[in-house]
Structure 1
């Protein structure tokens, strides 16, 4: 049975990274695998050059660079997966991780908080509670001459 053609890595409905823009490198993993870990290149490094990408708009590139700047090396985003024994599963894990990173970085931030003022009633309740607490503590004092 032929393998299905995978046009690219789907990040979101509006963004698919072409497979041609992704580079995979394989090396020996230090994780589980028994004796096979010494002979199998199951660790996967998936890299994507953001600056050379044809699918990103200027705004998306700016946002990704801003959000993922600490993870970029020369404009290249690298994700490593080595938790599985099989290369195929590590390839899938690295692709999922890369897609999640990019999707999170492109997601809009939370809405700005609109400054509001406390209501008169809430201010009065707070001050009344403070007075009651103050009175309670003052009445606990047993030192002579402390009564007001």
Structure 2
């Protein structure tokens, strides 16, 4: 993954943001939408493209374009930085390899402890019963 090349392949679009802001929000485009065409990217290998497509399938449209947006700030520049950082974080997370899970067995001591607890519980319940019946 070549970060600098990926940053050149990003498409940004500024649109009007929803929510509070009054007149300011009605006349300025502060929300930033980021689009990244995964299938036509030269910065990613085929393996990385497949992995990202699988991991981030919920954010990728049918054309193979990953879309993200930010409208946290009232500043377009700040929103652009935020969405870029979020995008890079998501890419890094998608490309991370998970460690394989190691199977474990309960220890002999833990098995004995469990059996002793069961035995004690059954004795307590047995002592509750009416001895005449």
Q: Same fold (TM over 0.5)?
A: yes
The Cα of 1:70 is off from its aligned counterpart by 1.5
Contact 2:59 2:68 in 1 (8 A): no
TM-score by length of structure 1 reads 0.79
Residues 15, 29 of structure 2: 8 Å contact kept: yes
**Stretches (4+) displaced over 6 A:** none
Q: Secondary structure at the match of 1:29?
A: coil
Cα RMSD for the two superposed structures:
1.7
Q: How far, CA to CA, are the matches of 2:111 and 2:105 in structure 1?
A: 10
From 33, 42, 46, give the equivalent of 1:58.
Answer: 46
Closer, same or farther: CA 17–76 of 1 in aligned 2, 3 Å: farther
Gaps of 5+ in 1: 1-13
Q: Which residue pairs with 1:15 in the alignment?
A: 2
Instruction: Please say if 1:90 is aligned against 2:73.
Output: no
Question: CA–CA distance in 1 between the matches of 2:32 and 2:42?
Answer: 24
User: Which aligned pairs between 1:1-148 and structure 2 lie closer than 5 A?
Assistant: 15-18=2-5, 19-73=7-61, 74-109=63-98, 111-141=99-129, 143-146=130-133
Aligned partners of 2:73, 2:32: CA distance in 1, in Å?
10
Q: Distance in 1 between matches of 2:110 and 2:67?
A: 52
Residue 88 (structure 1) shift: 0.7
Gap runs ≥5 in structure 2: none
Moved more, 25-34 or 90-99: 25-34
Deviation at 1:119, TM superposition (A): 2.9
State the match for 1:3 in structure 2.
none
Give 1:40 deviation, angstroms: 0.6
In 1, distance between residues paired with 2:74 and 2:29? 9
